Amino acid sequence: MTTLTLDEVTKTHIKMSYMEAIVAAEIEEMQRDKRVILMGEDLSIYGDGNITTEFGSSRVWSTPISENSFTGAAIGAAMTGLRPMVALNIASFMYLASDQIINQAGKLHFMTGGQMKVPVVFRCTLYHNCAIAAQHSDRPYPMFMNAPGLKIIAPSTPADMKGLLKSAVRDDDPVVIFEDTNLWGSRGMVPIDPDHLVPIGKADIKREGSDVTIVSISGCLKPALAAAKLLEKEGVSAEVVDPRTLVPLDKETILKSVSKTGRLVLVDNANRTCSAVSEIAAIVSEEAFESLAKPIQRLTTPDVHVPASPGLEKLLYPTKEQIVDAVKKIL
């Protein structure tokens, strides 16, 4: 949360969308460091088509449809002096590249006894809630949370996106960044400073409160904040915590909030079994059980595939009304 006055904000910040924040971070990092390259499919039309023109073909690699191998090529390039940003586009395509992400990127520093560094960023978009059915709509970050060696971030605001993507590019480890397409159009104030960084591994309290903690993952921040507003009208003060980074998880911020409120509602668009919030629920149960006044509530997508039919798909993801109900259940 910003503590600047409106006047100060307009001098140091600019309003932009989540999508614009992604492109701005990439362009600024490419301008800052010539080792940073961009790889992925259909990049000639990306960033309004200006990126290839500005940086040339040795910095922008528009790839054939070969996800596993261009991902591996990025890893090889990362080990030998470059800092690639790889656009894997739709997160469901990660499965094609998962061998290289899990077996190579995540393991090579360890398996070589620290000889190799793998400074690579994989951008994966969570393309759900837009009627493109089960093979394009997965939210697979929990699977990758179970693959040690990766850092995993899931920003929810334009400022966090820009600052975390920049931190990811400057980090010496492989970072997987999940961006929620439902946030692409959302706008917010973003620092102009090209060295504006949001630290990896640091949660953010998006709204302070005292009666209940709502932890929301990525795009779930929107219904979580909306629910907090509705609850406020009913005299319930909800604290909304956004982990921003899923690995390494900032559990201290979450535990501290729960120890203050004694109540926890978790909101996640991933499938229910072993979702990101399943891990958070386990940590809170193990480490702050005595702080809890009532059982933890998890709101997730059920363990069902995403149907193409919009009427069915909209039943899947947690809503502000469901969040309000979950909070009331444990008040």
Indicate the residue among 148 and 302 with the shorter CB distance to another protein.
148
Strands 36-40 and 83-90: what pairing? parallel
Q: Would you count residue 111 as binding another protein (CB under 8 A)?
A: yes
Nearest one of 124, 198, 114 to 149, comparing CA atoms:
114
Residue 152 burial by CB count (10 A; 0-12/13-18/19+): exposed, middle or buried? Answer: buried
Confirm or reject binding of residue 152 to another protein (CB under 8 A): no
110 binds another protein (CB under 8 A): yes
Is 244 a residue that touches another protein (CB under 8 A)?
no
Q: Is 146 in the site for another protein (CB under 8 A)?
A: no
Query: Is residue 148 a contact point for another protein (CB under 8 A)?
Result: yes
Contacting residue, 66, 135, 146, 273, with another protein by CB under 8 A = 66
**Window 258 to 297, contacts with another protein (CB under 8 A):** 286-288
Give the one residue of 112, 135, 210, 285 binding another protein; rule: CB under 8 A.
112
The residues, any chain, with a CB within 8 Å of residue 288's CB and separated by 6 or more, are 255, 258, 259
**Collapsed DSSP state (helix, strand, coil) of residue 130:** coil
Of the residues 13, 109, 128, 136, which is catalytic?
136
Q: 70 to 89, contacts with another protein by CB under 8 A?
A: 70-82
85 forms bridges with which residues in the sheet?
38, 121
Question: What tokens appear for 64 in the block?
Answer: 């054939």
Q: What distance in Å separates the CA atoms of residue 150 and residue 155, rounded to the nearest whole number?
A: 16
255 binds another protein (CB under 8 A): yes
Which is nearest to 166 in space by CA: 267, 270, 22?
Answer: 22
Kindly calculate the radius of gyration of the chain based on its CA atoms and give it in whole angstroms.
20
Q: Are the C-beta atoms of residues 37 and 73 closer than 8 Å to each other? A: no
Q: Is 275 helix (H, G, I), strand (E, B) or coil?
A: coil
The CB-of-99 to another protein minimum distance in angstroms stands at 6
CA 292 to chain CA centroid, nearest Å: 27
59 contributes a contact to another protein by CB under 8 A: yes
Q: Would you count residue 68 as binding another protein (CB under 8 A)?
A: yes
Site membership for another protein, residue 61 (CB under 8 A) = yes
13 carries an active-site annotation: no
171 binds another protein (CB under 8 A): yes
What whole-number distance in Å separates Cα of residue 314 and Cα of residue 246?
25
Q: How far is the CB of 240 from another protein (least distance, A)?
A: 22
Which listed range, 43-51, 111-119, 222-230, 234-242, lies at the site for another protein (CB under 8 A)? Answer: 111-119
Active-site positions read 136
* Residues found near another protein in the complex (CB under 8 A): 37, 58-59, 61, 63-64, 66, 68-82, 99-100, 103-104, 108-119, 148-149, 151, 171-173, 199-201, 248-252, 255, 286-288
